Amino acid sequence: MVSATGMTAVLGGCGTTGSSDVTLRLVAADYGDSAANSSQKYWDKLAKAYEAGHPGVKVDVSVYSWNDVDRKVKDMVAAGKAPDLAQIGSYADYAAAGKLYEAGDLLSIPVQADFPSQLAEAGQWNHAQYGIPFAASTRVLFYNKTLFSEAGITTPPTTWSELAADAKALKADGVKYPYALPLGPEEAQAETMQWLLSGGSGYTDDTGSYTIDSTENIDTLTWLKDELVGKGLTGPTAPGRLNRATAFAAFADGQVGMLNGHPTLIKQAEKKGVKFGAVPMPARAGQSTATASMGVADWMAAFRQNGHAEQVGDFLDYVYSEQNVLAFSREYGLLPVTTSASQTMTDSTRAEDKQLRPFLEQLPTSELYPAGKTSWAAISADIKKQIGTAVSPTGNPTGVLTRLQAEAATADSRTAAATG
């Protein structure tokens, strides 16, 4: 999700939803890996096509990098200038503040029913859906087959100990990043969650309560600190300064032996001719890889401030048509968020669709971020800022996780008090 930070386009056109001269403002995240395939191009084409058939409605789109988009929207809302729509990483805090429309107030029944129950439920706050899933992915371990062969590694790892041994062999063979561990501010919460799940825990328990400082999580980060980072197996850039986009680019350049990746890495690596394999994330000894699958969903949220419910709903019905969902998913190598588009992709004979099937198969059983918790946006931001220090040579995994747990508990207490 590399972006042309701050790239903004004003798209001309019009529309037919009953009111004239309505401008819908949409803030969106960038899923491209270069200026050539910025999400701005996707939204430009989609908005112009919508406007052509809807005289009176104009769609004004601003695209920002994932480093900036959540903060940009937060600042706009705080300034009393909320967009009509925001395609961002979390929604629950805005829902709790009464700033969002419910999905049912906007979407037609067929469109709302087309979201898989797992994603629709993940979009709920206080038993009502406010978060509309926009893009989804799961994570697997990518490995460079050429580097593995040159280092004498014959099979991909299935356990942490095997991963560490393979990383050691890759380092001995001169690989720059034996295992790339991106815990920088772009997407540290994702890499962290994947490791916590593979260690037998996660951010929350079955009841939705935070378990950030669980014994298993402390053990996981301690293992990363001692067995990977401490032994120089994560490359020249400190994990806390390595962003996911940079790690993906290094993999595509043939400099990375292994890393966790989502489907967009497929196209990126293929463009550079990298021969790669993809397998489930290795787990701690005795932990099944089947329970270590992480899913990610990004969200569309509709703000009430400007009162354009009719126009917003009509535009969203267009955005979530099967044709448009498939076009976006295929352009950026992500998983469709509607049942109809997922089925079409599953049945497809297109090579690019076949490559996504392993990710599609994982999604129904994967664990998602606790996006329905109003505290998640703040906790996710704190994880991005702090987690890299936990695995540094002088880091303290117990201290960092205990601090994050305390912050999460405090945030949850405030929410409980505010909602009665």
Q: Tell me, yes or no, whether 370 lies in a domain.
A: no
Together in a domain, 124 and 64: yes
Question: Residue 87: beta bridge partners?
Answer: 300
- CA of 291: how far to CAs of 22, 101, 365, 369, in Å? 47, 34, 8, 15
Residue 14: is its pLDDT beyond 90?
A: no
Check: CB of residue 214 under 8 Å from CB of residue 298: no
Together in a domain, 359 and 381: no
Give the model's confidence band at 9: pLDDT under 50 very low, under 70 low, under 90 confident, else very high: very low
**Residue labelled with tokens 């008090």:** 417
Which pLDDT score, from 0 to 100, does residue 290 have?
54
CA 85 – CA 151 distance, rounded (Å): 49
337 exposed, middle or buried (CB, 10 Å; 0-12, 13-18, 19+)?
buried
User: What proportions of the chain, in percent to the nearest 5, are helix, strand and coil?
Assistant: 45, 15, 35
Q: Tell me, yes or no, whether 101 lies in a domain.
A: yes
In terms of residue numbers, what domain contains 39? 8-137+296-365
Check: CB of residue 85 under 8 Å from CB of residue 24: yes
Query: What is the CATH classification number for the domain harbouring 156?
Result: 3.40.190.10
Mean pLDDT lowest among 227-236, 253-262, 345-354, 362-371: 362-371
* Tokens matching residue 106: 């906007």
Q: Tell me, yes or no, whether 346 lies in a domain.
A: yes
Check: CB of residue 68 under 8 Å from CB of residue 1: no
How many Cα neighbours within 13 Å face the side chain of 294? 28
Q: What is the CA radius of gyration of the chain?
A: 21
CA 69 – CA 86 distance, rounded (Å): 9
- CA of 154: how far to CAs of 166, 234, 276, in Å? 10, 21, 13
Together in a domain, 144 and 128: no
Average pLDDT for 342-348? 95
The domain boundary residue, chosen from 327, 343, 365: 365
Together in a domain, 216 and 348: no
Together in a domain, 130 and 145: no
Q: Tell me, yes or no, whether 267 lies in a domain.
A: yes
Together in a domain, 114 and 158: no
Together in a domain, 86 and 129: yes
Together in a domain, 178 and 260: yes
Residue whose C-alpha is closest to residue 90's, from 125, 61, 59, 126 = 125
CA 365 – CA 118 distance, rounded (Å): 9
Q: Tell me, yes or no, whether 107 lies in a domain.
A: yes
Give the model's confidence band at 420: pLDDT under 50 very low, under 70 low, under 90 confident, else very high: low
pLDDT tens-digit readout, 64-119 = 998 899 999 999 999 999 999 999 988 999 999 999 999 999 999 999 999 999 89
CA 358 – CA 346 distance, rounded (Å): 10
378 exposed, middle or buried (CB, 10 Å; 0-12, 13-18, 19+)?
middle
Q: Which amino acid is at 337?
A: V
Chain-centroid distance, C-alpha 180: 18
Average pLDDT for 223-249? 97
3-state SS assignment for residue 405: helix
Residue 205: is its pLDDT beyond 70?
A: yes
The reported pTM is 0.79
pLDDT tens-digit readout, 264-295 = 899 899 999 999 999 989 988 776 655 568 88
Q: Tell me, yes or no, whether 232 lies in a domain.
A: yes
Overall domain count for the chain:
2
Check: CB of residue 346 under 8 Å from CB of residue 147: no
Which pLDDT score, from 0 to 100, does residue 416 have?
58
Check: CB of residue 196 under 8 Å from CB of residue 401: no
- CA of 219: how far to CAs of 43, 195, 213, 362, 396, in Å? 43, 11, 10, 26, 11
CA 39 – CA 328 distance, rounded (Å): 9
**Beta pairing class for 256-261 and 140-144:** antiparallel
Q: Tell me, yes or no, whether 328 lies in a domain.
A: yes
Residue 11: is its pLDDT beyond 80?
A: no
Q: What are phi and psi of 185, to 5 degrees?
A: -70, -10
Together in a domain, 250 and 387: yes
Q: Tell me, yes or no, whether 2 lies in a domain.
A: no
Together in a domain, 225 and 302: no
Together in a domain, 39 and 101: yes
* Tokens matching residue 305: 């401030």
Mean pLDDT lowest among 161-175, 232-246, 405-419: 405-419
Together in a domain, 318 and 394: no
